[in-house]
Structure 1
């Protein structure tokens, strides 16, 4: 009996073939194979006129058609079909699309969170049916995102005529967080203050306490970064005269120990990694962007080294916890607690999933046969996971108050007396050991002085910190964090300055306009509520068509109408990055048709194209072309090399003759021919046919034409087979 296993990524093919054996045919869908058609009102591909939502799906481009044709042939050759797309909402939806496109009557749905013989064989031995509630939530998300993105972009963003290309449900709420912080920074006014301190001959430093009482300490969650970067300082003194007065008291009076407090404290390990915390830790420790972190994690997952990397659950399987305890018993018995540690996820986490962990704890970073970025990220995951099952760290904390006349000074110290989990994951502040002191002890003053400082504006967010904020605010889900940040950068709404995300003038202007035109939609709480509604659909508590129709009729359609009236009759004012006010266009008739028509006809509907000015640094010219037809809205950009206007790459018709029979050495998709001009000569090269991959994991896949065929600087000569 021949069994067909349908998966998403071709990177898993070899590993799964080794596990399942010859009686299995394994085929990859290359991710999504179908998408909503670009037809109907505003090219949505679905209708919102009735109580139901009829959706029109089509193959995702020529690649999707080719993949589906190959999968149909594989279905004919097999007796049973198993759908093993990724174990999340998106994977369930892709599985449903495969069922529909391939006309599968009773496919078996299997899921596994790690590509190991035990997990995969257990999954195929106990298949289930597709979860229609998860599918409904996935379809609702697709329709909701296209509804907001297409209608919002066409009827609001494009009419601003400022070069902005799009808005989105998650994208715009995330941009708003960045712009809010930027406006706080612009409005910030620094203030001078002084920190006053004394240094004693006994070998420690103490800081002025104006109240005479120890400074309150607010407990905080352990972070993913070792060391406490906050510089200790005194209570703030607001004038130079007051600072000088306190220093003089310190210099002219004897000092003694007023009080000594010591206590033993314990600190437990942070929980195992979920998607957001992995992205944060990899950003802080390895300087990986969220997008890079997910690509490296995908590689480790496909190789069978870690569990599935898109998860919001901190749960660890009991069997794995026992395996870690066995490892510690052998290699670090002093760190073995009495019982395994259990971690509890937030209320909206998918508890059926596990946290991100190694598939085999005995596969240590030193023994795993990987290198480069894969090795770095695996070591991070392995260390964090083992740390979660270790004993807490034990700390000896000391606080000393000293006194001179009527002024008091405070010194703090901390010593790790038992490393515990920090042997594998050190997130403690640096030790600062104080000498042994007694109450009433006379101290020798070595130095007393003050340091002038300035209050600092709130910092901009790094990519890991933004992901942390998105998770805390409930914006998006594990699979959307990295793509959202990437989109904001690609749209030129956000730039990177000294490792921090800074909104561009275009991003600030767009956010300012949306704050007036669609104020609810960009609020994190509003977006988080939509995510909660999608979760209820996934749990079978809501009908997705009822929800989407209701949301559109009660909120979105009226909001768009109101925004259109504001654009048509009012001046849209937004705050630019330099604090100046910028004014949008006024008058409805100027918004539907770009100001200056050109001689170029739209390649889609043949109407005239209009020239729209743009300051975007991403463009090769100071403008782009936009179709004058409201029903079309196509845009074209100038290509200086070809000396012509072109549609966005994703919208250009694909030449089927460009495909070759050679697979991409990274992702397995077919290579395509690409012709270009160099030094006045026409040349040809081969590259991955998946556009998204060429920007990411397949960007180094390039075979150039030589005398003896095609060759690659990284992958060597291409074995040319007859075609």
Structure 2
């Protein structure tokens, strides 16, 4: 209805930065906007121009792919204009993401569980992991065997053997499905004669890989260096900002002519002309890639890892990976002679492969990742030659389910399906974990049960939103907007018209989104004896009493925490570890899906169908079980000195005191650290709430101290306290806030000081307001002293039609009006300070 008009506001705390930019821009002839070269960078440049204001003809847009003197000079010599098509594409993406989030998240709260949210791209990424989880649960591993024979040449020591594998029996593929079949084959091989049937030698080549784009860099860093996606992008950002590599968010394998020429010159000088292809190698990018961008490469090919200064070791390792990939991509193929030898024994064929490197080519710089057995140098076997059996080696295997996604493989799958863009991959990986829908254990993704439930509901009610093809098409439409081929508002309107109708239908009671109904069990409630139910919340799976929904007088809120009894694949586990874990799991009697296991107590284990709550299969196994002891992080309780352990509640993870008498808790910050200890609430019965019939309590939270209604959560009124309201209670307030009691109680105009908290600085300060508007005066506590910042001098507006008087010269005091000056205060005798 507002034609997609956005209302942008300056972030709190950034007003001074914008004011300073406006001041500097006022007298400038030209203003250069040098933000990143992608859509986000273009949008930031536009936001800057809008915030600063002034004559638009003064603004110039400059872009460069690398932070080097040459690139920056060339950019400033050829400035351009802001590309509004790119800005509109970025705006459209933000609108789409907000429409989905703002409209679907409340629906999930109402229908599934509180605290849930949905995202346009993130929900599709979660679906990939959830569907893979379902494939794994449904998979039933099957046994099979492989047979190997260690064969040596006559007259040579038995230790100089070559391992052959049995590949055929009676002309058919050899794959025994039981030990009995494998033993029968072993019996024949024990007495057989081993004769070389054939030998094939042929030349083969290996080509170097293309230079890195964002997704392939993330995958290579994960595989070769063990880095997560987020860490890779953080290190790449630092290398880019230091001028060592080109821009790291790109989907193009394009290389500039200068970069290729410099690389070829370096290769020739280091290795000679033999290592230089006749013509430069060119790599094609996928359709839709931004060819104006370059691949990720070193800014200067002559700078090796040993020449990098001021970077941590991991950044150096990432630079070396990028440098080697870039140099290798302009070198010739590696040449091999590949050999395949077939030996016949009874009615069985045994085969071995090997290859010999003839010319190293690009592998001189970038060794390829290959299996060691393929690099074996085989003896010069002759057809008809008889070999001696040294040992037979039967190996049992089980068929493997589809592999779990890791960070790198998930990025590869997203890219393959056209979901997301280079600038969003790292954010997608982080967000889906932060929201609790999936978790990363031992570098593998596991779908949490709540992620399973949410995905099934979204697929049922918003098939387009969770459809891989539709999401990819929407990305292509945004690319078209960026290229000026489509109108961004039309794209948004078309999406919204269809989407809003589906939201309305899903919100209804009849035919709407299915509720997250619990599953009944025959486990009695330890409090009231009613049956317990399996419930799924945003914090996990637990047992809750079926009497929870009864009238208040009969209601039972008893719950039992369930401890997961399932194994996860270890970091160094082999390829079949997942199969062995699946073989140990119970199978649901209704749908044959692998069941999830939970310990109720030391004598009962609950097996729940992996398709719960859509399948109500469950069973209780009795025995003696050892509940694994707590092995997580611990803190000392600031209230009683006992141990605090990391726990999970309805609102997420937190630290809770283990003492039964102490109920102290501390919030877990997003950084993974415990929030600072909070002071006990201070009752202030003399302060009446402004909106409700209640009195205030002084509380301590993540955003500093504040006044809140004493009957929370019934009354939710809060506000900032005035300093003079706290002084009568200073002996009750935690000593760590003693410095606040010594702050100026009022400004020079006599206005009362308000205690505020800066979310960016994480520090308290005092300020004053008149009619709920800041006066501009404030004081900050710096180096043990309170420093005042005076309010700006406001000149009275001239009356209408009156002649303007000549401006008087500013008095010396006006020049230092914004300077911070120390305030002399008397020491507070009755309240200690931690400064």
TM-score under structure 1 normalisation? 0.72
Separation in structure 2 between the aligned mates of residue 192 and residue 170 of structure 1, nearest angstrom: 39
Tell whether 2:280 aligns with 1:340: yes
Separation in structure 2 between the aligned mates of residue 190 and residue 678 of structure 1, nearest angstrom: 63
Distance change in 2, residues 1:91/1:320 (3 Å):
same
Distance change in 2, residues 1:569/1:175 (3 Å):
closer
Listed as ranges, the matches of 1:326-337 within 5 Å are: 326-333=265-272, 334-337=274-277
Tell whether 2:360 aligns with 1:360: no
Q: Which among 552, 556, 560 is matched to residue 499 of structure 2?
A: 556
Instruction: Kindly provide the CA deviation profile for residues 507-549 of structure 1, in whole angstroms up to 9, marking residues without a partner as x.
Output: 2222222222323212222211110110111111110111111
Listed as ranges, the matches of 1:414-433 within 5 Å are: 414-429=355-370, 430=372, 431-433=375-377
Tell whether 2:175 aligns with 1:239: no
Unpaired stretches in structure 1, ≥5 consecutive residues: 1-48, 216-234, 585-612, 622-637, 658-676, 693-703, 710-719
- Paired residues of 2:457 and 2:513 also in contact (CA < 8 A): no
Q: Which among 64, 75, 92 is matched to residue 140 of structure 1?
A: 92
- Paired residues of 2:438 and 2:445 also in contact (CA < 8 A): yes
Distance change in 2, residues 1:137/1:691 (3 Å):
farther
Q: Which among 124, 127, 143 is matched to residue 176 of structure 1?
A: 127
Separation in structure 2 between the aligned mates of residue 433 and residue 678 of structure 1, nearest angstrom: 78
| Alignment-derived partner of residue 326 in structure 2 | 385
Listed as ranges, the matches of 1:491-506 within 5 Å are: 491-506=435-450
Could you tell me how far 1:112 is from its partner in structure 2?
0.2
Could you tell me how far 1:459 is from its partner in structure 2?
2.1
Structure with more helix by fraction: 1
Separation in structure 2 between the aligned mates of residue 148 and residue 262 of structure 1, nearest angstrom: 59
Separation in structure 2 between the aligned mates of residue 249 and residue 410 of structure 1, nearest angstrom: 17
Could you tell me how far 1:158 is from its partner in structure 2?
1.6
Per the alignment, in what secondary structure is the counterpart of residue 108 of structure 1?
Answer: strand
Separation in structure 2 between the aligned mates of residue 458 and residue 278 of structure 1, nearest angstrom: 24
Separation in structure 2 between the aligned mates of residue 173 and residue 544 of structure 1, nearest angstrom: 22
Separation in structure 1 between the aligned mates of residue 719 and residue 219 of structure 2, nearest angstrom: 38
Distance change in 2, residues 1:242/1:679 (3 Å):
farther
Separation in structure 1 between the aligned mates of residue 702 and residue 736 of structure 2, nearest angstrom: 25
Per the alignment, in what secondary structure is the counterpart of residue 166 of structure 2?
Answer: strand
TM-score under structure 2 normalisation? 0.63
Instruction: Kindly provide the CA deviation profile for residues 401-443 of structure 1, in whole angstroms up to 9, marking residues without a partner as x.
Output: 1101211111111222222112222224121121111111111
Per the alignment, in what secondary structure is the counterpart of residue 301 of structure 1?
Answer: helix
Distance change in 2, residues 1:72/1:395 (3 Å):
same
Tell whether 2:168 aligns with 1:210: yes
Distance change in 2, residues 1:58/1:183 (3 Å):
same
Separation in structure 1 between the aligned mates of residue 758 and residue 223 of structure 2, nearest angstrom: 32
| Alignment-derived partner of residue 151 in structure 1 | 103
Per the alignment, in what secondary structure is the counterpart of residue 354 of structure 2?
Answer: strand
Could you tell me how far 1:618 is from its partner in structure 2?
3.0
Q: Which among 41, 49, 52 is matched to residue 99 of structure 1?
A: 49
Unpaired stretches in structure 2, ≥5 consecutive residues: 154-160, 519-535, 542-594, 597-608, 615-647, 657-674, 682-698, 707-717, 723-731, 741-756, 763-780, 787-818, 823-835
Could you tell me how far 1:570 is from its partner in structure 2?
4.5
Distance change in 2, residues 1:346/1:213 (3 Å):
farther
- Paired residues of 1:395 and 1:418 also in contact (CA < 8 A): yes
- Paired residues of 1:264 and 1:397 also in contact (CA < 8 A): yes
Distance change in 2, residues 1:206/1:571 (3 Å):
same
Tell whether 2:378 aligns with 1:434: yes
Could you tell me how far 1:161 is from its partner in structure 2?
4.6
Separation in structure 2 between the aligned mates of residue 643 and residue 457 of structure 1, nearest angstrom: 53
- Paired residues of 1:573 and 1:582 also in contact (CA < 8 A): no
Per the alignment, in what secondary structure is the counterpart of residue 479 of structure 2?
Answer: helix
- Paired residues of 1:164 and 1:506 also in contact (CA < 8 A): no
Instruction: Kindly provide the CA deviation profile for residues 543-578 of structure 1, in whole angstroms up to 9, marking residues without a partner as x.
Output: 01111111111x211111222126757445699883
Per the alignment, in what secondary structure is the counterpart of residue 62 of structure 1?
Answer: coil
- Paired residues of 2:137 and 2:610 also in contact (CA < 8 A): no
Separation in structure 1 between the aligned mates of residue 655 and residue 6 of structure 2, nearest angstrom: 37
Per the alignment, in what secondary structure is the counterpart of residue 121 of structure 2?
Answer: helix
Tell whether 2:201 aligns with 1:262: yes
| Alignment-derived partner of residue 124 in structure 1 | 76
Could you tell me how far 1:393 is from its partner in structure 2?
1.1
Tell whether 2:678 aligns with 1:641: yes
- Paired residues of 2:169 and 2:347 also in contact (CA < 8 A): no
- Paired residues of 1:396 and 1:417 also in contact (CA < 8 A): yes
Distance change in 2, residues 1:324/1:490 (3 Å):
same
- Of stretches 375-384 and 518-527 in structure 1, the one that deviates more from structure 2 is 518-527
- Paired residues of 1:620 and 1:640 also in contact (CA < 8 A): no
| Alignment-derived partner of residue 665 in structure 1 | none
Could you tell me how far 1:62 is from its partner in structure 2?
0.9
Could you tell me how far 1:70 is from its partner in structure 2?
2.1
Separation in structure 2 between the aligned mates of residue 193 and residue 160 of structure 1, nearest angstrom: 46
Could you tell me how far 1:241 is from its partner in structure 2?
2.1
Q: Which among 149, 160, 165 is matched to residue 198 of structure 1?
A: 149
Could you tell me how far 1:705 is from its partner in structure 2?
9.5
Instruction: Kindly provide the CA deviation profile for residues 439-463 of structure 1, in whole angstroms up to 9, marking residues without a partner as x.
Output: 1111111122322121222221111
Per the alignment, in what secondary structure is the counterpart of residue 298 of structure 1?
Answer: helix
Tell whether 2:108 aligns with 1:167: no
